[in-house]
Amino acid sequence: MIKRISIFLHIVFFSLCFPYTFSAAENTTPSGIPIEELEQFVDEYAEEYIGSTVAGAAIIAIKDNQIVLSKGYGYADVENQIPMNPDTTVLEWGSITKLFVWVSAMQLAEQGELDLEEDIRTYLPEEFLTKLNYDDPITILNLMHHNAGFEEYIFDLLFESPEQLVDLEESLKLAEPEQVYKPGEVVAYSNYSTSLAAYIIEEITGQPFYDYVNEHIFDELEMNHSTMHLPVEDNQEITRHKGIGYFPGENGDFMESQSFYISMYPSGGINGTAADLAKFAQALMPSEPEKTSLFQEDQTLQKLLTTSYAPEEGVPGLAHGFWEYDGEYRGLTHSGNTVAYSSNMQIVPEDNFAIVILTNQADEIDLLFGLTDELVGRGDQTVRENLPPAAEVEGSYLSARRTFNGFMNLYAYLAPLDVKPMDDNEIELDLAGFKATYVQTSPYVYKLKSGDDVFIPSNVMYFHVNDGMSEQISTAYADYLPMDKNTPFLLISLGLFIWCMVYFLISPFVLMVLAFFRRRRKRKKAPIAKWNWLLMLSGTLLAVNIAVLIIRMLSNPMRTYSELLPHFIGNYLFTATSIIAVVMMILVRKKAPLSKMQKTGYLLTGFSSILFIIWLIIWQMYA
């Protein structure tokens, strides 16, 4: 770690003293690391994480279309000590797969087969897009920019068995999300949007999307050790070389993950080697006078890599599906995560540099983003004068990429993005315990100054401020919107939930004890008692049902909606019996004299039951 910092400071010092030493013409990374020192730098950086937080990684760096570093770190199979190899180890690329959809779309646009600005309903059968709430057209560009307006829908995306897989058309119908934003207004990262674009390509070409990619990209670039076709077990060569995916263990060890399968494979289904992904990166930055084999005309490649969406001039946006990155030079990037694999690829066309990192570790960030940040550098952080006060952007925000319908809408409120001013020009961000400091460099544009690596992909944030109030944050992968429920409401909801769960899980045992003593004293049971028992039992079953639902989702969030349907039916059933019991208790309350304690107990149960049902309705626990 100390050596890494020393090297970095050495580079920064000399780049300040001799600004032309590390120009694009020199043989360096964009951040200024000499290529001859690159392997040592990466070795020392990776040493801190490999074997402790990361099982293995394959890393390839490209400069002037030549591979200048290709190396495996750690193990593809920890138990059998099989080393990671960039040329042969097959890993899951996750959402980097989406780039192949956008390249395919640009190929068809080049041929005049696809209009990027045409309403996509022109290309789709009538039974598609049944949950739109706006009449505005949705274009391929909207799909590329993730601003078609779709909510996040997490069910029916990943399956534990290949027998559960359905074709792309069926998966899109099965997991269609509701449109919750007006097209073009809010960026909310969407797997559905990308797979929908891939289906449009199927409709135009008459080929399964994976066949199209094999023919027009994989074969063209001789990417012979990668596949988009699922399940991968159908390809024995891929299976034989696939690295095992891991979760971090409790004692610093690595827990092997089971296999998962994705029907919406265009959004994250490629299994391949780092070397094959490097070929793709090279094809995006051909050395002159060579031409890319991805397109017929050079202008198409140039258009692909040109900014097609930006929230504000000078703020990173998207280039036809590639996320722009504010590095020493403009970068174009995409990362990916599957259940137990993580990936990142960034190309820097202005400096003819690219970095490819694949790992067999769930949610890895230190290598993917930390190392990439070290190699590509940071953009200009010169601070202008007379900037608006940071207090204007203070508040709590929710990711626009969230579920609006169903009980999963609750999850977004568990990890809001809190923004607090540190002084007139700096803010502190807190996201689920991860923290970072941003500095304002131009009006409402904040750049990452320091903090946890998880913030590196969002190293620039633009706050949309109107009349001194922040209405939206634009950043990579998903915008953020002001939280629509205030803190007191959330605290009351939490307290209510805890009270109802504890009350209905404990009270039945209290009732059983009281019933035991009543029998011993041979006291007659009041008519209202049986309805109180029904109400208590219904509340207890609701509490148990909700607890089991939460435990199942925490243990494995990759479930189909049909798996959870019994819980929702149970909630309806137990709510109905609760309401019946409350009504009957009201009707028979005067048929027998009740003690003060009995009245208090019955009222408490009835009141708790009603509050529990209200809580279930507010947080949509019935769907």
**Cα 13 to Cα 299: distance, rounded to the nearest angstrom:** 39
Report which of residues 555 and 279 the model is more confident about: 279
Instruction: Phi first, then psi: give them for residue 193, nearest 5 degrees.
Output: -60, -45
For residue 238, the SS3 value is helix
The continuous run of DSSP H or E covering 417 comes out as: strand 417-421
**Cα 430 to Cα 271: distance, rounded to the nearest angstrom:** 34
Q: Who's near 55: CB < 8 A, 6+ residues apart?
A: 74, 75, 78, 244, 246, 254, 359, 360, 361
pLDDT by residue (tens digit) across 495-527? 999 999 999 998 877 766 666 656 656 555 667
Cα 607 vs. chain centroid, distance in angstroms?
39
pLDDT by residue (tens digit) across 106-161? 999 999 999 999 999 999 999 899 999 999 999 999 999 999 999 999 888 888 88
Is a pLDDT exceeding 80 seen at residue 440? yes
Taking all residues of the chain, what is their mean pLDDT, rounded to a whole number? Answer: 90
pLDDT band at 172 (very low <50, low <70, confident <90, very high): very high
Q: Where are the beta strands (DSSP E) in 9-98?
A: 56-63, 66-77, 82-83, 91-92
Query: Hey, which residues does 247 pair with through a beta bridge?
Result: 255
pLDDT of residue 320: 98
For residue 20, the SS3 value is coil
Is a pLDDT exceeding 60 seen at residue 9? no
Is a pLDDT exceeding 70 seen at residue 494? yes
Q: What is the DSSP letter of 525?
A: P
| Lowest mean pLDDT across 21-35, 72-86, 435-449 | 21-35
Q: Could you identify the residue written with the tokens 């949705």?
A: 138
pLDDT band at 22 (very low <50, low <70, confident <90, very high): very low
pLDDT of residue 509: 76
What average pLDDT does the segment 183-211 reach?
97
pTM of the shown model: 0.89
pLDDT band at 24 (very low <50, low <70, confident <90, very high): very low
Burial class, 445, CB count within 10 angstroms (exposed 0-12 / middle 13-18 / buried 19+): buried
Please, what's the b/e burial string for 170-194 (b: 16 or more CB within 10 A of its CB; e: otherwise)?
ebbebbbbbbbbebbebbbbbbbbb
pLDDT of residue 25: 44
For residue 130, the SS3 value is coil
Contacts 24+ apart (CB under 8 A), 523-529: 526/591, 526/592, 526/593, 526/594, 526/598, 527/588, 527/591, 527/592, 528/585, 528/588, 528/589, 528/591, 528/592, 528/594, 528/602
User: Is the backbone peptide bond immediately before 289 cis, with ω within 30 degrees of 0?
Assistant: yes
Q: Who's near 122: CB < 8 A, 6+ residues apart?
A: none
| Lowest mean pLDDT across 222-231, 391-400, 465-474 | 222-231
Q: What angle do CA 303, 22, 370 make, to 5 degrees?
A: 70
What average pLDDT does the segment 8-32 reach?
51
Asked if 344 and 336 count as a contact pair (C-beta separation under 8 A), the reply is: yes
pLDDT of residue 508: 78
pLDDT band at 592 (very low <50, low <70, confident <90, very high): low
Classify strands 395-399 and 353-359 as parallel, antiparallel or unpaired: unpaired
Asked if 558 and 564 count as a contact pair (C-beta separation under 8 A), the reply is: no
Is a pLDDT exceeding 90 seen at residue 230? no
pLDDT of residue 18: 33
**Cα 91 to Cα 277: distance, rounded to the nearest angstrom:** 11
Q: What angle do CA 228, 365, 235 make, to 5 degrees?
A: 20
The continuous run of DSSP H or E covering 428 comes out as: strand 426-431
pLDDT by residue (tens digit) across 358-384? 999 999 999 999 999 999 999 999 999
Residues of the chain with CATH 3.40.710.10: 91-376
pLDDT of residue 7: 35
pLDDT of residue 511: 67
What average pLDDT does the segment 85-112 reach?
98
pLDDT of residue 523: 58
What average pLDDT does the segment 584-592 reach?
78
Quickly list DSSP for 435-488.
EEEEEEEETTEEEEEEE-GGGGGG-EEEEEEETTEEEEEE-SSB-EEE-SS-HH
| Lowest mean pLDDT across 14-28, 353-367, 445-459, 508-522 | 14-28
Query: What count of other Cβ atoms lies within 10 Å of the Cβ of residue 350?
Result: 14
- Which among 110-124, 556-570, 581-595, 597-611 has the top mean pLDDT? 110-124
Query: Hey, which residues does 272 pair with through a beta bridge?
Result: 91
Number of residues in the chain: 623
Asked if 454 and 162 count as a contact pair (C-beta separation under 8 A), the reply is: no
pLDDT of residue 519: 63
Is a pLDDT exceeding 80 seen at residue 357? yes
pLDDT of residue 522: 56
pLDDT of residue 15: 36
Please, what's the b/e burial string for 53-86 (b: 16 or more CB within 10 A of its CB; e: otherwise)?
bbbbbbbbbbbebebbbbbbbbbbbbeeeeebbb
Cα 500 vs. chain centroid, distance in angstroms?
32
Residue type, 116: L
Homologous superfamily of domain range 91-376: DD-peptidase/beta-lactamase superfamily (3.40.710.10)
Cα 34 vs. chain centroid, distance in angstroms?
34
pLDDT band at 591 (very low <50, low <70, confident <90, very high): low
Quickly list DSSP for 152-176.
P--TTSEESSGGG---HHHHHHHTP
pLDDT of residue 125: 94
| Lowest mean pLDDT across 433-447, 468-482, 519-533, 555-569 | 519-533
pLDDT of residue 397: 97
Q: Who's near 164: CB < 8 A, 6+ residues apart?
A: 261, 560
**How far apart, in Å, are the Cα atoms of 623 and each of 192, 404, 616?**
20, 11, 10
